[in-house]
Structure 1
Amino acid sequence: MSLDLISTATVSRKGSQMTLSSDRTRTDMLRGLRFRVSCPVALPGEPGYERCTPWNGVPVNPAAVVLAATPQDVVHTVKFAGAHGMTVAVQCTGHGATGVDGDTILVLTAGLATLDVDTVGRTACIGAGLSWQQVLDATTPYGLAPPCGSAPGVGVVGLLTGGGVGPLARSIGLSSNYVRRFEVVTGTGALLHVTPQDSPDLFWGLRGGKSTVGIVTAVEIELLPIREFYGGALYYDVAAVLHGWRTWCADLPESITTSIALQQLPPLPGVPEPLAGRFSVSVRLAAIGDHGEAQRLLEPMRRVADPVLDAVSVLPYAAIGAVHADPVEPLPVHEDHAVLRELTAEAVDALLAAAGPQSASLQAIVELRHLGGAFARPPVHRDAFCHRDAAFSLITIGVLAPEIAAAVPGNAAQVVNALNPWSTGGAFPNFAPATGAERLVSSYDQETLFRLAALADRHDPTGVLATGQVARIRY
């Protein structure tokens, strides 16, 4: 028995259960899906198909798009795909989308938009079509904080199934720590309600394993009693600030989560004038607890250099997205990523040489996140997320503008490779989406991979959900 990491780029399921003799036969077959579901189904060229275009702009060309309105629509789509030798992928906003081809039916979850907030019990039951911003809008007026990521525009489910390293990660840990229950459709078409008590194995795999073991249609999470925080960002035009940040964050309490970004932001609407079209450095901060103490602890960074823009203050939790200020409009980007065991002065020099103002870097953002604290502690219920011992994470984000699109990925690899001496070789599931065995190996340790593969073998024996990448067991 061996563990094989199979990328759907190299494994085809064409003809596994039937042979389509012509495009017309195939089209007629796919149109038959409309009689199985209660929602619209769009084939290429039909109204609604264009909705599959993801936020990050990667090529997505599925055989059909299912605009799911109920969990049963997902159930029937999975069963239909299994009966016809096809695969099923799922997408909410498409921030972390990977390529989808013509052998796959794509389920869009925007229609699964239910939201039930219990303000007394401090919980929220959230449909898979909702973004964190929608949950923020519904919960923060009651002084309740959903454990969202740095970009509130992303889908709730996608963040949670990948773990979720948010702007308060050092203070509260992973976002997925706060999941109480999943509603999920497995590769056999079974609709299950998964809790740590009733289905501990699935509950483990759904927190960190992405969609390996099922398509989540709803989730119940805990809400935190956080009304406001001290945070935002300081912006500088001096690259050497990175050295000051490295020494400053070494002794921070876990009540403070911080990151730093080397930025070359284009002159677009929403980009502040002092930052547009020029190199800048952004020190991000989110602190809970004593705001006065957080302000005192930030003072050394304010003295490292004069900020060109100081946007740090006491903010309502509803404004948590202001910390990272991620774009809110769709943008074709390429991301690369690494996990670091340490950040030495030599590592900072290497990063500045690769992505600093004199480097000719093509990356719009190169970010380091400080980890540790609550992020490093295991949750009450174990999960499939690995690399909690990481000290920092690195991510590059390059805008795929036509004149540089071909060169951006190679340049991103150069930036990441510059920090190889300090890298663990690991990666986080939600960062820099990619497919293939190499990405799986970097995201999970061997024991976790084997356990995820066993779950997939049990709950998706014919590989209906084997899109993008999946670990399988071969005998």
Structure 2
Amino acid sequence: MSSSDPQRFQPVGIDPAEVKALAKRVRGPVLTPEDEGYDTERAGYQLARQHRPDLVVGATGTADVRAAVEFARSHALPVAVQGTGHASAGIAGEGGVLINTTRMTGVRLNLEANTAWVAAGTRWDEVIHEAAPAGLAPLSGSYPGLAVVPYTLAGGLSLLSRRYGYAADHVRSIDVVTADGRLRHVTEESCPDLFWALRGGRDNFGVVTGIEIGLVPITTLYGGSLQFPGESAAEVFDTYLRWTATVPDEMSSSIMQMSYPDIPAFPEALRGRQAVNIRIAYAADTLDDAEGLVEPLRALGPTSDTLGQLPYTEAGSIYADPPSPGFIEAGTALLGALDTTAVRTLLDLAPPHAPVPHIFELRHLGGRLALPPAVANAVGNRDARYLLNVVSRLERADITEIRPAHKRMLEALAPWSTGGRLLNFMNGEDAAKEVRSAYEPKDYQRLTEIKAVYDPDNTFRLNHNIPPADPRNPRLA
């Protein structure tokens, strides 16, 4: 929708003179819906639903962030923060101030401590590139184009997480602008409650301008994918589930069924058909036993096999997530132990037996993910064994078909569900309603109490919102 469209969102009345005054305080762009470039500035990876703010500030540094937060507070406007915009379908809001951090990039390595300081808008591929010559790697996810800060503060499920835990478990310090406009350097020692809450509570407590993260001594993985025809799905899923019960913590993997569209962009053998992909990322100190570990999967006769050793700088090729923005609807759930009945339940609700979803995936959890971190944080649901993601492209089906199909699949798997969610993957229609499910009950209560201290007016509420504990607060979400 263009900025000249008369049906577009109508902003609240902000005095143009005050907008001009703010623009003089910041180095980045300050745009209202009437300004050229507004749509570009608010755009992100997710196109299905995007923030439509009264004002968007393209921050270039901490001073710009402080000015934007102070402006929002003085005008009683809510604040949203956006990096690459992958999560916006679940949390996008109308009105308020959107702070775009994509211009705030930079990586500083500390090789004595094996850490990296990372600016708010930095993507994982930048950190991977800087760390690799030192023989180190960050706990990055399957897609290296994600922004580091929001991914990590929401937990961060890495290709290395079964060995090392969540990315949030490896945060050493955080620079954050809180609702009072103050820049705080937060560590376990300086501010233990806020440090605990930010690592898992994402942007509910302020705008993070940079974080210091631990790096791990990984240079090479054994990884890639095995592809099988859709007709073999039941056997492949059953074998995969049995296999995950036997592998060491250094082995991370997932299994996915994908329905390929009938278009020339895909090989003729896949067009209009289903295929099953198993993705592997094995990160042990020695990779000598890798071939033996995957042999039970190879014995099923994959039609495509890309497994082999690769440098961590090429880890993004394992999942090969699409880099281009798209219209996506997704659902998610955390699951416990799965059996043959669970597999049949999944497959009966997926193509070719039922229309949509276009992709459903199980990621193997456990290992170090199931253990508490050295320094406690708010990331919950560590007892889950698998993560289910259900994804559909809106270009290929109507939303009125997709949402009921996702709901049927998630409800059918209720007997195996833990009832929890991972914040990084909560991007569907009900994301705002499911925030509590990302935390243990006592931790959620503690988060609301910390929120009441640092953001009592719930200024940071255009997100996976945790309202402040005080029930008398008029801005409770």
Q: Same fold (TM over 0.5)?
A: yes
SS at 1:170 equivalent: helix
In structure 2, distance between residues paired with 1:271 and 1:160: 33
Q: Which residue of 2 aligns with 1:55?
A: 45
Q: Aligned partners of 1:277 and 1:436: how far apart in 2?
A: 31
Q: How does 1:73-152 map onto structure 2 within 5 Å?
A: 73-97=64-88, 98-152=90-144
DSSP-derived class of the 2:168 partner: helix
Write the letter of the residue equivalent to 1:210: R
Q: Is the 8 A contact 2:12 2:95 kept in 1?
A: no
Distance 2:271 2:308 in 1: 22
Question: What secondary structure sits across from 1:235 in the alignment?
Answer: strand
1:299-338, aligned counterparts within 5 Å? 299-304=295-300, 306-338=301-333
1:6 paired residue number = none
The answer to whether the 8 Å contact 1:86/1:464 transfers is: yes
Alpha-carbon displacement from aligned partner over 1:335-392 (angstroms, at most 9, x marks no partner): 100111111111111111112x432331221010111111111100001011000011
Deviation at 1:282, TM superposition (A): 0.6
Cα deviation, residue 94, structure 1: 0.3
Structure 1 residues 443-452 or 114-123, which shifts more? 114-123
**CA contact 1:256–1:294 (8 Å) conserved in 2:** no
Instruction: Give TM-score scaled by structure 1 length.
Output: 0.91
2:188 is the alignment partner of 1:196: yes
Tell me how large the CA RMSD over aligned residues is: 2.0
Supply the AA of the counterpart residue of 1:139: A
Give the equivalent residue in structure 2 for 1:430: 424
Task: Give how far 1:275 is off.
Answer: 4.2
- Structure 1, unmatched stretches of 5+, are 1-21
Does the CA-based 8 Å contact 2:77-2:96 persist in structure 1? yes
What is the percent sequence identity of the aligned residues? Answer: 35
Partner of 2:289: 293
Tell me how far apart the structure 1 counterparts of residues 91 and 124 of structure 2 sit (CA, whole Å): 24
Q: Tell me which of 154, 179, 182 is aligned to 2:174.
A: 182
- Residue of structure 2 equivalent to 1:33: 22
Q: Does residue 1:448 correspond to 2:443, yes or no?
A: yes
Structure 1's 436 and 263: CA in aligned 2 closer, same or farther, altered over 3 A? closer
Deviation per CA, 1:163-197: give whole Å up to 9, x if none.
Answer: 11112221111111111111111111111011112
Which residue does the alignment assign to 2:55?
A: 64
| Cα distance in 2 between the residues matched to 1:427 and 1:471 | 18
Distance, in Å, in 1 between the alignment partners of 2:436 and 2:191 is 26
Q: Describe the shift of the 1:377–1:264 C-alpha distance in structure 2 as closer, same or farther (beyond 3 A).
A: same
Equivalent AA in structure 2 for residue 292 of structure 1: D
Other structure's SS at 2:46 match: coil
Matched, 1:366 2:360: yes
2:405 equivalent among 403, 411, 429:
411
- Cα 1:101/1:222, change in 2 over 3 Å: closer
5+ long unaligned stretches in structure 2:
1-10, 473-477
Q: Which amino acid aligns with 2:35?
A: E
Is the alpha carbon distance of 1:96 and 1:273 closer, same or farther for their aligned partners in structure 2, counting shifts above 3 Å? farther
Q: Paired residue for 1:420?
A: 414
Structure 2: distance between partners of 1:243 and 1:287: 21
Partner-residue secondary structure (3-state), 1:159: helix
Number of equivalent positions? 452
Higher RCO, 1 vs 2 (CA within 8 Å, ≥6 residues apart): 1
Q: Which of 137, 153, 157 is equivalent to 2:149?
A: 157
Are the aligned partners of 2:156 and 2:167 in contact in 1 as well (CA < 8 Å)? Answer: yes
Match of 1:173 among 162, 165, 168: 165
TM-score computed with the length of structure 2 as normaliser = 0.90
Contact 1:42 1:48 in 2 (8 A): yes
Does the CA-based 8 Å contact 1:82-1:462 persist in structure 2?
A: no
The range that moved more, 148-157 or 163-172, is: 163-172
Describe how 1:336-347 pairs up with structure 2 within 5 A: 336-347=331-342
Closer/same/farther in 2, CA of residues 168 and 378 from structure 1, 3 Å limit: same
Rate the CA distance shift 1:269–1:122 in 2: closer, same or farther, 3 A.
farther
- Is 2:219 aligned against 1:223? no
Hey, what's the Cα distance between the residues in 1 that align with 2:256 and 2:142?
A: 13
What SS does the aligned partner of 2:222 have?
A: strand
- Indicate conservation of the 8 Å contact 1:274/1:308, yes or no: no
Indicate how the Cα distance of structure 1 residues 72 and 43 shifts in structure 2: closer, same or farther if over 3 A, else same: same
